[in-house]
Amino acid sequence: MLKVYGNSKGNLCDGISRRDFLSIGSIGMGGISLPQLLQAETVNSGTSSHKALIMIYMAGAPPHQDLWDPKPDAPSEYRGDLGAIPTNIDGIQIGELMPHMAKIMDKCVAIRSVIGAPNGSHDSFMCYTGRKGSTLNSKGQPPGGWPSIGSALSRLIGASDPRTPPFIGLAPKAGHPPYGSSGMPGYLGVQHSPFRPSGPGMKDMVLNGITTRRLSQRKDLLQSFDQMRRDLDATGKIEGLDGFTQQAFSLLTSSRLANALNIEKEDPKVRERYGKGDPKNVGDGAPKNNEHFLIARRLVEAGARCVTLNFGRWDFHSNNTKGMKEHAPIFDQGLSALIEDLHERGMDKDVTVCAWGEFGRTPKLNKNAGRDHWPNVSCALLAGGGMPTGKIIGSTDKIAAEADDRPVHMGEVMATLYYNMGIDPNTTTLPDLTGRPHYLVDGWRPMPELI
């Protein structure tokens, strides 16, 4: 059995649910778990490009003042107990709990003036789409809902290797569902949902010791369930599932994906550099699991176009300093290891890394020494993708309350991510369920500072 490190209870997804796997087994054949995300359409799938995106959603919204936008000269009730440290770029300081990142800021871009959060509600939707909306309902969205960037990349270019799903989400199930989202497929349909690996199900990803006769039986069984799956799907978006069969067996009979998920195959020194973190969910949020950073790198090497992972629960309404000390050092180790690893492997020109949350935190500490929700301004950290790095974009006022110089809308960040993938977000369209075409972003253009 393949053990996927990160959670001994295998809660890297919503159990073995229909949206994560099509389970065909427990009927005397040993069981097959068939990933539901299988490419029905892979436009330009024959490309040799290895361009990919790793997006880290910092669940709960991190305090921008303690990460990339410290205000050491602000009054104590605004700056808090945490200070700033210099980086390897003259004149640039970041939060004191990020010493590993400080050493590699020449490889990064910190955006201090991110705007566009629709409100102060906890939802990953804006981070995955660049648009206003909700993970929990599609009110105000086109029929089927807006797709996440991972689903759009799955639809537009597919995986760089057919044995690997193009869109993979490492988010575990969370008490607050938007914290556990890996990105929704929206009107692109379930075939472009993220593949979400699970510990118990991964043993079936490789058919070790299966005879040709038994494989034939399983194929017949799979085909016999096609009509039932269509009947059970309430959304009406599963038409064409018959076309998945060949790709399904390509995945099941290949060890490529399983090997990528098995970090026991990684150099122990590399694993030590990333660290383990904590695989358990933080409250109703996500784990602080550094092995997910390493798995993400291994998955894009194996051919994935987009890998999303969710980190922690940065919602520090009380004792902000304690929360940051429990989160930031682990995050600092994992994120810096990922960025350095991509450079050392020559992947930094092709793989873009984006780390951000849904909004920022109040400039003034509350009566419990915490910071509340603040949609006015937040921050983001970008790396790789062939971008010119070693810079800060934008600024906030002296108490980090409002964007001052160069406000950057979340849609601009999203447009830049598409641009790094070789896609023009302002000319490329995708049709919703009625056939109406939609641009990938709401008119926002890639950031000129990064292209």
In a domain, 5, yes or no: no
Residue 169 has pLDDT above 70, yes or no: yes
- The more confidently predicted of residues 387 and 2 is 387
In a domain, 7, yes or no: no
pLDDT at position 392 is: 98
Q: What are phi and psi of 261, to 5 degrees?
A: -80, -15
In a domain, 15, yes or no: no
Residue 201 has pLDDT above 60, yes or no: no
Least confident of 146-160, 219-233, 313-327: 219-233
Residue 83 has pLDDT above 80, yes or no: yes
* Torsion (CA) 227, 231, 234, 235 in degrees, nearest 10: 40
Sign of the four-CA dihedral 147, 149, 153, 159: negative
Which residue carries 């929360």 as its tokens?
A: 323
In a domain, 161, yes or no: yes
Q: What are phi and psi of 268, to 5 degrees?
A: -55, -35
Instruction: Label residue 346 left, alpha or beta by phi (over 0 means left) and psi (-120 to 50 means alpha).
Output: left
In a domain, 430, yes or no: yes
Neighbours of 176 (CB within 10 A): 20
Confidence of residue 15 (pLDDT cuts 50, 70, 90): very low
346-370 burial: b if 16+ Cβ within 10 Å, else e: ebbebbbbbbbbbbbbbbbbeeebb
Q: What is the tens place of the pLDDT at every residue in 266-276? A: 999 999 999 99
- For 51, the token pair is 């361009």
As a whole number, mean pLDDT of residues 195-213 equals: 56
Q: Where are the alpha helices (DSSP H) in 281-427?
A: 291-302, 320-344, 410-420
- The more confidently predicted of residues 44 and 215 is 215
As a whole number, mean pLDDT of residues 368-392 equals: 98
- The more confidently predicted of residues 212 and 312 is 312
pLDDT at position 255 is: 81
DSSP 240: T
Give the CA count within 13 Å in the CB-facing half-sphere of 35: 34
Confidence of residue 258 (pLDDT cuts 50, 70, 90): confident
pLDDT at position 197 is: 85
- The more confidently predicted of residues 202 and 429 is 429
In a domain, 304, yes or no: yes
pLDDT at position 221 is: 53
Residue 382 has pLDDT above 50, yes or no: yes
* Percentage of residues of the chain with pLDDT beyond 70: 76
As a whole number, mean pLDDT of residues 9-32 equals: 33
Instruction: Give the mean pLDDT of the chain.
Output: 84
In a domain, 234, yes or no: yes
Neighbours of 276 (CB within 10 A): 17
* Percentage of residues of the chain with pLDDT beyond 90: 72
- For 117, the token pair is 């959060």
Number of structural domains found in the chain: 1
Report the relative pairing of strands 108-115 and 408-409 from DSSP bridges: parallel
pLDDT at position 401 is: 98
Least confident of 23-27, 111-115, 176-180, 415-419: 23-27
Q: CA-to-CA distance for 145 and 155, rounded, in angstroms?
A: 15
Confidence of residue 200 (pLDDT cuts 50, 70, 90): very low
As a whole number, mean pLDDT of residues 21-45 equals: 32
- Residue range of the domain that includes 395: 21-450
In a domain, 65, yes or no: yes
Of 175, 182, 172, 88, the C-alpha closest to 127 is 182
Confidence of residue 251 (pLDDT cuts 50, 70, 90): low
